């Protein structure tokens, strides 16, 4: 394995732009890469671009008629067909949509290929994580489902066990759907409860179908869950599943929209807890995946100045074995760039000032506690199907 992590990046990804009033502002990507460089992490990683996902790759997950519809809307947004989820309020059509969405997908596929072939142990594409896109429709700001495409490419290359862990505030519905009946893929999603947040899926009873029964695990967290509950839920579910499944590759999605400042959701997680879960995923990859193979993706996140760049810069640092100290002062050059681009004042440090802690599940649970109820529901629904004790 190469000693340096792979960072997938191409300036053209900032063209994934649904318009000025849309919450998924591509400035979040530019500012993240600028912060990575401000901390010198670009010297600790091997930064690469990749080819856009072509027709044969996109067909691993998406229907040909859907790809054709995206191409048509990309060439002329007036041709957008809402039957395919394009041209809607969530997913407005824009010129060049196919090309930039395929590029982001290609970066995630390239990350997966590099890890599988042993070119690197860890690869990051924070521009990816677009986990809502379905085989035949755009959904939730997502045109092509790059996590599912990366996993499908790993399977095509010969992988027999791939684990996907999604900690975005929204349920990883598109990835779950893509591998619903595939026993080679374990999908685990921790998200805000579907009764209070899009896409209204991710109930604990969703456990996979057919040969894939028990291959989907959903932890539906009550609105308002903060650091202690979020970390408790993660550690009560994910390590046991990975220890049992022993994936050849671990793919993780790190949407930053769990944060208490995020405007589109209702969890109350700090940057420091997000960093803790990133570190845990890194450790779990080394503990349970073959040769530590880890593909880490971005995802949602709509506090585009205060949260997203700091969160994903931590992700890059952790993957590079060069973690950024949370107490680090953010370089003034980056804050100047923030102001120039957004007329906002950027954060001063790489921390929210929290010291994350949680109570281990092994110390017992409270059946009257809403958070513990969510964990119990997930374990009781899925673990026995995998031959594990709930």
Which residues are designated catalytic?
132
Name the DSSP class of 261. T
- Rounded CA-CA distance 11/33 in Å is 9
- Rounded CA-CA distance 148/182 in Å is 12
Q: Is 41 exposed, middle or buried (0-12, 13-18, 19+ CB in 10 A)?
A: buried
Residues 6+ apart with CB under 8 A from 235: 280, 358, 360, 361
- Rounded CA-CA distance 316/29 in Å is 13
144: left (phi over 0), alpha (psi -120 to 50) or beta: beta
- Rounded CA-CA distance 154/116 in Å is 7
3-class SS of residue 216: strand
């Amino acid at each position: 394995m190469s000693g340096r992590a792979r960072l997938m990046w191409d300036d053209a990804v900032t063209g994934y732009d649904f318009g000025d009033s849309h919450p998924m502002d591509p400035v979040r990507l530019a500012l993240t890469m600028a912060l990575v460089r401000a901390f010198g992490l670009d010297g600790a990683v091997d930064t690469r671009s990749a080819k856009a996902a072509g027709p044969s790759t996109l067909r691993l997950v998406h229907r040909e008629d859907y790809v054709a519809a995206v191409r048509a809307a990309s060439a002329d947004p007036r041709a957008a067909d809402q039957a395919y989820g394009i041209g809607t309020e969530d997913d407005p059509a824009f010129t060049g949509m196919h090309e930039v969405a395929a590029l982001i997908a290609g970066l995630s596929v390239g990350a997966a290929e590099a890890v599988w072939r042993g070119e690197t142990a860890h690869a990051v594409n924070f521009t990816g994580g677009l986990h809502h896109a379905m085989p035949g429709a755009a959904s939730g700001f997502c045109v092509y489902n790059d996590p599912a495409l990366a996993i499908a490419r790993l399977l095509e290359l010969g992988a027999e066990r791939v684990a996907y862990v999604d900690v975005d505030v929204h349920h990883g519905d598109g990835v779950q759907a893509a591998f619903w009946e595939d026993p080679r893929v374990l999908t685990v999603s921790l998200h805000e409860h579907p009764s209070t947040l899009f896409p209204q899926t991710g109930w604990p009873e969703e456990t996979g179908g057919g040969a894939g029964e028990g291959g989907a695990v959903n932890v539906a967290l009550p609105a308002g869950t903060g650091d202690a509950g979020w970390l408790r839920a993660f550690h009560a579910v994910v390590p046991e599943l990975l220890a049992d499944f022993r994936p050849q590759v671990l793919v993780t999605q790190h949407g930053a929209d769990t944060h208490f400042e995020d405007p589109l959701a209702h969890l109350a997680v700090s940057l420091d807890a997000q960093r803790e879960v990133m570190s845990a995923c890194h450790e779990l990859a080394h503990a349970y995946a073959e040769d530590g193979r880890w593909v880490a993706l971005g995802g949602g996140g709509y506090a585009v100045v205060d949260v997203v760049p700091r969160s994903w810069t931590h992700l890059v640092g952790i993957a590079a074995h060069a973690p950024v100290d949370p107490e680090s002062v953010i370089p003034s050059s980056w804050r100047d760039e923030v102001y120039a681009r957004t007329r906002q004042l950027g954060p001063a440090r790489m921390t929210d000032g929290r010291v994350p802690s949680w109570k281990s599940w092994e110390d017992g649970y409270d059946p009257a506690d809403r958070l513990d109820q969510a964990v119990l529901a997930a374990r009781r629904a899925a673990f026995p199907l995998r031959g594990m004790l709930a």
